[in-house]
Chains A and B, each alone.
Chain A
C-alpha cells in the first residue's frame, strides 16, 4: 500500500529535526546536510506518491493512513490519521520542493552562522509541521500542524533573538497567530458540539444537515484562523515584523508556505463556506481589504524584505479573495498560491542574495545599480518580478488574471467592487514592485564604500534559478487544459460553469489588467528613474505617505486598542489582586489581631476590674433570667 508511505513525509523531517536538536554541537559538521537530505527525501516520497496518484483513476486518488487512535473520549474520537488527496499533494510538493531548494540555499547563506545546525533543525521541524497541517484528516490534526508551524515560525523569526526587536517580532507573530488559533479551536468546538465529529470527511457529510447559523459560525471562526495565519486584515500586523528572521525563512515560511495555510484552510473547508454565504462574503471582504492594504503598504517600504512581505500579504489577499468566491475560485486560489510560492520565494531568495552581497543591508535606498554586480540575482529576481506583476506569459499572469476575472464575474455590485479592488491592487503591485526593481538594481550606486557587492555562490543562485524557472513556467502548465482545476475537482465541489453571466469577456479583463499594470510601472519609472533617489527617506512628504510608511497605522491601532488597555488592565488587576483580594484576606487577619489587642485591654491587671467583670457577667445572666421569666 502506498498510503503507508504518507507518514514518512512527516516522519523524516521530524526525526531529522529531533536528531539535530538533541545531538548538540557534535552535529555541527553535518547537520545542515542531514537537514537538506531529510527535506529532499520527503520531497522524493511526495513525488513518488504523486506519481502513484496520477496512476489512479480520479475517484481513487485520495488515500488515508490511520496511524493510531489519538484521543478517544466518549463520542469525541480523533484518530491520528493522514489524508493525502489532490489538494494536499499540491501542498506537499510545494512545501517539500521549495523547502528543499531553500535548504540548499541556506547551506550557503547560513554558513557563517554558528547555529546553522539549529537553523536546519527548525527548518525541518517546520517542514514536518506544515506537512502535518496539510495532511491531517481532521481539524484537530490540522490544528497540531497549525500550531506547529506557528512554533517553527516563532523559533525562526526569533532565530537571532539576541536582538530584542527580533525577539519581540517573534513573540508578536506567535501571539497574533494564537488569536487565529482561537478561531480554529472554537470552530472545532462548534463543529463537535453540533455535528459530533471533527474530521473533514465527517463534517463534509454532516454539513448539509446543519443549520446555516452553525455553519456561518464555524466559517467565521475559520476565517479568523485563516486571517491569523495568513496575515489577513485585521491580524496582518505580524508579517512585516516577521522579516526579522533569516531571509530563507522569509522565503519559505512567510512567503511560500506557512502564510498560505489560511488559503488551504478555507479551501479545505469548502463544504462549510459553500453553505454559509455570510461567512463567504466576509472572506472576500477580508481578502479584498488585505490585498489593497498590503499593496498600499508596499508602496512606501524602503526595506526590501518588508516591501516583499507587504507584497506577500497583498498576494495572499488575492488568494483569500478567490477562495471566498466559492467553487469557481478555489482552484484559482490554489493556483495563485502555487505560482506565488515560486516567484515570491524566488524573489525573497534574491533579496537574500542582495543582502548577502551588501553586508546584510536591507534598505533599498542604500542599494542601486546592483545589476552589474549581481547579474544572476538580477535575472532571477527580474523573472519573479515579471511574474508577480502579471506580465504574460509568466506564471502570475495566469493565476492573477483568473482571480480578477472571477472576482469581476461574482455578480452585481459585489463583483464590480471586488473586481475593481483586484484590478487596482494589480496596478499598485506593478508600481511598488517596479520601485523595488529600480531602487535595487538600476540607477546610481548609493552604497558606502565598505560594501563590496558580489554575486552569490552557486548553492545560493541555483535554487533561485530553479524557482525563476518555476515562475516562468508554472502558470502556463497549470492552466493548460485547466489541468489544476480538473485535478482539484474531486476535493472542491464541482465547477458549475455559467452560473453567473460574465460581466466582461476574459480578453477584455486581461487587457484592462495589463493596462493598469502598465500605468503602475509608468508611475514608478517616472518617480524613481527620472528623479534621483535619496539614500535616506525624505521627510517632507505628505501626511498620507507618512501614514502609509507606518503601515497604515496598524501598530498604532493595535497598541491603542489592545496593547495599552491590556497593559492597563494587567496592571490594575495586579493591584486589585494585591490590594483588594489579598487585602481582604490580610484585612481579616488584621481585624482578628486588632480585635484581639483591643479585647486584651480588658485584662487590666486590677483584681477589682476582674471582679467587676464577674459581677457584670452575673448581672447579665440575672437579667437574662429576668427576661425569660417575665
Chain B
C-alpha cells in the first residue's frame, strides 16, 4: 500500500488559512497579552488577517478554475466572488463588533449578578469575540467553495458553532440573548442532522461524496431517483435553514432579536452569502440536471418565503425582528436566483448577495446606535421622531430601508431587477410576479419605519442616539457609500462579476 502524500495547493487555500491563523493568534493573545491591550491587538490581528485574506483572494483570482486540497474545494470565479463578498462584509462588520458596548463583559457571570456588574464596571471586555468571528469567517469562506459533502458539512459546522456562541453574548437583555443562543443551537443542530442524513443518501446514490462524482452519477445513473431526491431534499433543508427560508425560518426572528446586534448584522449578511454560495454551487453544478425534480419545490418555497416574510414583517414592533423577517423575504428573492439556473441568475445572485449584505450590516450598525439608559432600544415605537433628533442617522437608516425595498438608485433595485429578470428568463414567471407583488408588501413595512422615524412625533421617554464611535461610524459610512455607489453606478461591480461568474464542475 502506497501512501500518496496529498497536494494541497496552499496558495489557493491561503485566504482560509490566513483567517484560521489569525484566529489561532487571537486565541493565543487571550492567553498571553495583558487585558488592557487585548482589544486593540485583537482588532488589529482580526482586521489584518481579513484584509490579508481579501488581498490573497484578489491575487488568486486569475489562478481560478482549479481544484485544490485533493478535490475538497474548487477555486473558481463564483467561489472567489463569494469569498470576496464575505470578507468585505466581515471587514465592515468587524468595526461594529469592535464596539464592545454590545457584548457582555463576562459571559459566565449570572445575568444581573454583582459579578456581572463588577466586570462591567472594571471595563473587562470579551475579546474572545474576535477569534470566534474569524473562525466563523473561515467556515464561511470554505462553505461556498467546498466540493465534497464532508468539507461542506465541516464548513457548515465551523461557521455555525461560533455563531451559536456569539449569539448568546449580548450585554443587554442577556436572558433573551442566551435564549437566542439556545434556540439557534438546538435548531441548528437539528437541521445539521437533516443535512447529514441527506448527505448520506447522496453518498448512497452516487457512491462518492465528491460533487463531481455525484454529478457523474446523476448524469449516468442506473437506479431510480428516490434516494437522490431524498438526498437533495434533506441537504436542501439544511441549507434552506441557514438562509432562513420558510418553513425553516423560525429561528431567525428570535435569534436576530436576541443576539448582540453586531453579530446579528454579521450573521445576517455573511451567513447568507456563504449559504447561498454553497446552495448555488450545489444546485447549479451538481444537481442542475435534476432541475425538473427540485425546481418546482424551490419555486413553492421561494413563493411562500417571499410572501410570508413580507406579510409578517408588517406587524412587527421590534426593529430587529422586522429586519429578520425582511431577511426572510430577501431569502425568498434570492431563491429566485437559484431557480433561475442560468448565468444571469448567478451573476444577479452574487450582486444581490453583496449589495444586501453590505446594506444589512449598515442597517444593523445603526440599530446599535439607538439607545436609552438601559441599552439598545429596538422597540419600533420608541424610534418615533428619530428623524427629528438625529436626522443623519435616521436618513442613513431610511436609505438602507429603501435599498431593501428596492427603490431605484439604491443597490437593492439593481439586484432585484437583475435577479427577477434572470428568473423570468428561465421561465419562472409566476415566481417573478409573486416577487414583484411581495416587494410592494415589503415596501409597506419599510415605509412604515420611515414614517415612524420622520413623520411621527417622539414619545416622551428619552431614546437617544449615542454619538457613534469612530468604528461604528466607519461601518455605517462604508456600507452607505457602497449602497449608494452600487445603486447609481453598478457597472464596475457587474463587469467584475460577469467574467468570473462561471462555475466549474
Contact = CB atoms under 8 A, between A and B. Distances in A.
Nearest to B232: A625
List of 4 A-B pairs having minimum Cβ-Cβ separation, nearest first: A610-B250, A617-B247, A596-B314, A597-B315
B154 interface: no
8 contacts: A597-B315, A600-B316, A603-B253, A605-B254, A607-B182, A614-B190, A621-B236, A621-B237
A589 B447 CA distance: 13
Given A593-B315, A605-B254, A620-B247, 5 more contacts: A592-B314, A592-B444, A597-B315, A600-B312, A614-B190
Contacts of B254: 603, 605
Given A614-B241, A617-B248, A618-B194, A599 B233 contact: no
Given A614-B191, A614-B237, A624-B297, A603 B247 contact: no
A595 B233 contact: no
B417 interface: no
Interface string B241-274: 1000001101101100000000000000000000
Q: How large is the interface on B (under 10, 10 to 19, 20 to 34, 35 or more residues)?
A: 20 to 34
B229 to A, nearest CB: 5
Contact of B441 (A592, A616, A625, A629): A592
Nearest to A628: B293
Interface string B302-314: 0000001001111
Contact of B311 (A599, A605, A607, A617): A599
B250 A599 contact: no
A613 interface: yes
A413 to B, nearest CB: 71
B187 interface: yes
Given A592-B441, A617-B248, A607 B315 contact: no
A560 interface: no
A622 interface: yes
Contacts of B314: 592-593, 596-597
Contacts of A609: 250
Contacts of B297: 621, 624
A542 interface: no
Contacts of B320: none
B183 interface: yes
Interface in B475-498: none
Given A614-B191, A629-B225, A607 B313 contact: no
Most B Cβ at <10 Å: residue of A609, A614, A629: A614
B233 A618 contact: yes
Given A611-B187, A611-B190, A625 B248 contact: no
B230 interface: yes
Given A603-B312, A607-B187, A611-B186, A629 B248 contact: no
B226 interface: yes
Contacts of B441: 592
Interface string B171-189: 0000000000011001100
A607 B183 contact: yes
Interface of B: 182-183, 186-187, 190-191, 194, 224-226, 229-230, 233-234, 236-237, 241, 247-248, 250-251, 253-254, 293, 297, 308, 311-316, 441, 444
A613 B247 contact: yes
Contacts of B315: 593, 596-597, 600
B295 to A, nearest CB: 12
Contacts of A607: 182-183, 186-187
A614 B234 CA distance: 11
A607 B181 CA distance: 11
Contacts of B241: 614
A257 B194 CA distance: 95
Nearest to A629: B226
Contact of B247 (A597, A616, A625): A616
A46 B60 CA distance: 97
A618 B186 contact: no
Interface in A571-630: 589, 592-593, 595-597, 599-600, 602-603, 605, 607, 609-611, 613-614, 616-618, 620-622, 624-625, 628-629
A337 B220 CA distance: 104
A620 B246 CA distance: 12
A610 B183 contact: yes
Contacts of B225: 629
B246 to A, nearest CB: 8
B447 to A, nearest CB: 12
A605 B321 CA distance: 12
B304 to A, nearest CB: 10
A600 B190 CA distance: 23
A628 B228 CA distance: 13
